[in-house]
Amino acid sequence: MAALSDRLADQGLVAAAMEHARSAFPLECCGFLLEREDGVLYYLPVDNLCGSGDRSMSGPRGGVAGRREGCGRYRFEADTLPLLGALLRGERLRVIAHSHPDGDVGLSATDREMILCGSTGGHPPRPWFDDCFWLVVGLGGRHLDREPEARLFRYDRKTARFAEVARYDGNGERVGP
């Protein structure tokens, strides 16, 4: 079977995450790439609970209507209820995806903190999903004047560092490394 990084491109899943990012602009989007028991991968776009406030977030998803307290334009908090449903069906979380509307395709300090659960001391720190990759879609900046791109990362517990696994162009095609 092909490597996950190639399958994401070949099956149009990076392109799907890019389209989701474009539709969420100027806010960050978030989604999950899941694998069903039969090996089929799919992209599950979810609501960014730090979104624009155009829907009520009462009950288990929030507590107040509108934007979550403390959320800025360049933050995301994924609605995890659809993910929970997928996991209960026996599906496997392979990739957590989100966008950077400003065009940066690296993991920000906030991303790293979120991935490592705010861990400040463990040896080494442990991500909240150990066997998972992270896809960052960088859009073309404030005016979408640059070609979007994406990068796939994985956390290496031995080195306690994030490693870039793959790069994708604006069409979701793998271009390196």
Instruction: Lowest mean pLDDT of 114-128, 140-154, 163-177, name the range.
Output: 114-128
**Integer Cα distance of 141 and 83 in angstroms:** 29
Nearest to 4 by CA among 129, 125, 168, 115: 168
The predicted model gives 136-155 an average pLDDT of: 86
Mean pLDDT of the chain: 81
User: What's the one-letter identity of residue 132?
Assistant: C
Percent of the chain with pLDDT over 90: 49
- pLDDT (0 to 100) of residue 74: 54
- pLDDT (0 to 100) of residue 51: 63
4-176 belongs to which homologous superfamily?
Cytidine Deaminase, domain 2 (3.40.140.10)
HEC string of 110-149 equals: HHHHHHCCCCCCCCCCCCCCCCCEEEEEECCCCCCCCCCE
CB 172 within 8 A of CB 150: yes
Q: For 45-70, how does the pLDDT look when each residue is reduced to its tens digit (9 = 90+)?
A: 998 887 644 433 333 343 333 344 44
Residues 6+ apart with CB under 8 A from 155: 115, 116, 127, 134, 161, 162, 163
Question: Both tokens of residue 42?
Answer: 């799919």
